[in-house]
Amino acid sequence: MKLNPRPLIGLNLFLAVVYFAAAELGLSLASLHSNVTPVWPPAGIAIASLLIFGPRLWPGIFAGALAANLLTNIPAASALGIAVGNTLQALVTYWLLLRVLRWQRSLDSVADVMSFVVCAAVLAPLVSATIGSLSLCLGGADWSRFTSMWLTWWMGDGFGAVIIGSFLLSWSKPGKLSSRDIPELVSLFVLLFIVVLIVFAGWFPGRVKTYPLAYLCLPCLLWAALKFDQRIVTTAIVVMAALAVWGASQGYGPFVEPNPNVSLLLLISFVGTSSLMTLVVAGVTSERRKAEADRAQLGSELEVHRRRIEGIVAHVPGVVWEVWGKPGNQRTDFVSTYIEKMLGYSCEEWLSKPNLWLQAMHPDDRERAMTEAAAMFASGKGGTSRFRWMHKNGQEVWVEARSIVVCDESGPVAMRGLTMDITPAVQAELERAELLRRERQAREEAEDASRLKEEFLATVSHELRTPLNAVVGWSRLLRGGQLDPDGAAHAIEIIERNALMQKQIVEDLLDVSRIITGKLRINTQPLDLLLVIHAAIDAIRPAAEAKEIEIRSHFEAPGVIVKADVERLQQVFWNLLANAVKFTPARGAIDVYLQQQESLAEVRIEDSGPGVPPDFLPRIFERFSQADGSSTRKHGGLGLGLAIVRHLVELHGGTVSASNRDENGGAVLTVLLPSMKPAPPREFITHV
């Protein structure tokens, strides 16, 4: 606490007066020596003053101590030494507590109480007792009494610091008493007052006033420690100490001895020990109250968050759930109320019946969904699964479950997720598939009608004939009802695959048309080139796996950024990879390289096919150009893919080139694109 000069002087004067008065009271009980007493309240006053207001009050302590000792029958030099020792005692306590231990000026925990007791009542009094006893002996006191004077001084200063210092420190902190506590508080002090008067002040009936009944005070102190804060606790201690000292000075109490100094030492030892015990119990109680308050606050906050989460979950258009255990033997711990809307089951039913999620599943999907759930649980990563649940009324409900896996140190233990009703989306997909089928049929008829117009259309018809024959043939089988359900599913799969081949041809024709008319546009944005390459690899993966072709990635610059149209750039790499897969024999390999060449990003695709004939290399990127243009050629295609690639790369400000490997055969297609920033070199290889 910082003080202005005038209030500081006033506080020092006030402290000197209070210190002097307390010193006179303590010295009035001296018997071993006029300046040595077992009861020394000024020690607690001095220490508390410095801890509350700061070390600049040391002059008040020094002045009060010097004045009190100068009025006794000792030399001025001895009085000066005693004043120095008393002042140093308070300063040492301040330094140990606030500078060394970083004490919080509080007695609200056991650690704080013990720190205060050790520093203020054990260590610091060593200074004052040693300096004071030496000052008296050097001033003429009997050296044979040095030990008894030192011990009395040390105990008097120590217990004075504990009793008075803790009292002043506790009352320096703000606090309020509830009106409901007043009756109990009054009862406590009345009982304490009566017990102390009986034990220490001669109120015990009969002629003997020295029965060993000091322990009767302990329940009152414990009452204060367990029910009230440190202010009431220290007040009770001071009341007990004051009455006990007064009674001992009158010859009452269980600690009366022929030697008055010994009587007071025994009394102050009991009072000080009781005070320490009570302060520790009060500290434990304060810590417990604080822990309970923190726990109550945490519980309140958790309840608020729980209600908030429940409110959020209640408005999620899907089932939020949590299950514990391995799939097949799981316990559902939570499910949102949306389950009743989706399937007609109440939350109580879903929680009370183990594995109800599996029992409510469509029989055809149960085994597959169980296998997928077990795989996701074992992986520890979760995933997405589609299956059909059966509504309580028997209706099929298509759902998509997205889940995560909860793990501890032993591995996966639970799963959490969200299950959405996707029935409308699935129905829309089926309707869209029907529309696509009709559209394909109309397109086939239009293409058949114009196939004979010119030579180019003849080439197109050659490329379309094979998938069309498959589509028509399987369609007739479907229409004629000659297929069982599995055969029908296989027919639809073949029809869809061949339709996708036709779709790619049409898209190439449309892109060429846009290129010729100048209507092909791109929308560029900064993007990670590595992500685009990965997407293209993922798209071509099924075709590569069908031929058991290994795709190897060599990424030396994985963080390169380019400004491009993500869809068109992915189309470029898909075309290049599709071309490589087409010309690579079964069980071959394709290498994909990503490198940084100064300000350019280089993507190079090398296959293990036969390579490009040298005379065809100059024309490889021209429209409708093919190395083998005969109708009996081994590899199909319209010769448009690489032409589209060249145009798209040039729109992005880059270049594309083709060459052959020097050894082992195979074609090399290289794309150079301007990069926005270089990436630090790093190399890793992924086998697909």
Q: Which CATH code fits 317-421?
A: 3.30.450.20
Burial of 650 (C-beta count, 10 Å sphere; 0-12/13-18/19+): exposed
Instruction: Label residue 196 by pLDDT band (50, 70, 90).
Output: confident
Q: CA 56, CA 53: separation in Å to the nearest integer?
A: 8
The amino acid sitting at 397 is V
Cβ–Cβ < 8 Å for 645, 524: no
pLDDT on residue 135? 92
Q: Does the domain formed by 426-517 have CATH 1.10.287.130?
A: yes
pLDDT on residue 483? 74
Instruction: Label residue 3 by pLDDT band (50, 70, 90).
Output: low
The amino acid sitting at 667 is A
684 pLDDT above the threshold of 60 = no
Of 18, 114, 96, 16, which Cα lies nearest the Cα of 58? 16
Of 622, 604, 588, 582, which Cα lies nearest the Cα of 660? 604
Q: CA 679, CA 558: separation in Å to the nearest integer?
A: 7
588 pLDDT above the threshold of 70 = yes
C-alpha 298, offset from chain centre: 16
pTM exceeds 0.85, yes or no: no
pLDDT on residue 310? 74
Cα–Cα separations (whole angstroms), residue 231 to 163, 281, 416: 12, 14, 52
Cβ–Cβ < 8 Å for 553, 686: yes
Of 499, 352, 369, 374, which Cα lies nearest the Cα of 434? 499
639 pLDDT above the threshold of 70 = no
Cβ–Cβ < 8 Å for 574, 598: no
Q: Where are the domains of the chain?
A: 1-173, 180-315, 317-421, 426-517, 525-687
What number is the average pLDDT over the span 193-205? Answer: 81
List the single range of 258-272, 467-481, 630-644, 654-668 with lowest mean pLDDT.
630-644
pLDDT on residue 205? 66
List the single range of 70-79, 202-211, 409-418, 601-610 with lowest mean pLDDT.
202-211
Report residue 127 as tokens: 């200074």
pLDDT on residue 127? 94
Helices 124-138 + 42-53 axis angle, to 10:
130
Look over the chain and give the mean of its residue pLDDT values, rounded to a whole number. 83
pLDDT on residue 5? 61
For the stretch 299-336, pLDDT in tens is: 888 888 878 877 777 778 888 888 888 887 888 888 88
Which residue matches tokens 């280089």?
Answer: 602
125 pLDDT above the threshold of 90 = yes
Q: CA 21, CA 427: separation in Å to the nearest integer?
A: 96
Instruction: Label residue 635 by pLDDT band (50, 70, 90).
Output: very low
Cβ–Cβ < 8 Å for 573, 532: yes
Instruction: Label residue 642 by pLDDT band (50, 70, 90).
Output: confident
Report residue 438 as tokens: 């009709």
Report residue 639 as tokens: 């010769």
C-alpha 323, offset from chain centre: 23
632 pLDDT above the threshold of 50 = no
pLDDT on residue 465? 61
Q: Tally the residues of the chain.
A: 688
Report residue 507 as tokens: 């898209």
Cβ–Cβ < 8 Å for 321, 337: no
Backbone angles phi, psi at 45, to 5 degrees: -65, -45
What number is the average pLDDT over the span 135-154? Answer: 91
Cβ–Cβ < 8 Å for 252, 198: no
pLDDT on residue 688? 44
SS3 letters across 465-514: HHHHHHHHHHHHHHHCCCCCHHHHHHHHHHHHHHHHHHHHHHHHHHHHHH
pLDDT on residue 686? 46
Report residue 510 as tokens: 């449309």
Pairing state of beta strands 589-597 and 685-687?
unpaired
Q: Given this chain, do its domains 1-173 and 317-421 carry the same CATH topology? A: no
Instruction: Label residue 67 by pLDDT band (50, 70, 90).
Output: very high
88 pLDDT above the threshold of 90 = yes
pLDDT on residue 507? 65
Strand partners, 398: 388
Backbone angles phi, psi at 559, to 5 degrees: -105, 20
What number is the average pLDDT over the span 260-270? Answer: 88
Three-state SS at 250: coil
What number is the average pLDDT over the span 31-46? Answer: 91
Instruction: Label residue 541 by pLDDT band (50, 70, 90).
Output: confident
C-alpha 383, offset from chain centre: 23
High-pLDDT (> 70) share of the chain, %: 87
Q: CA 254, CA 29: separation in Å to the nearest integer?
A: 18
For the stretch 419-465, pLDDT in tens is: 998 888 888 888 898 888 888 888 887 775 565 345 455 555 545 56
Strand partners, 673: 601
The amino acid sitting at 122 is V
Instruction: Label residue 409 by pLDDT band (50, 70, 90).
Output: confident
What class, spelled out in words, does domain 525-687 have in CATH?
A: alpha beta
**The CATH number, out of the four listed (3.40.50.12780, 1.10.3720.10, 1.10.1760.20, 1.10.260.40), of the domain defined by the range 1-173:** 1.10.1760.20
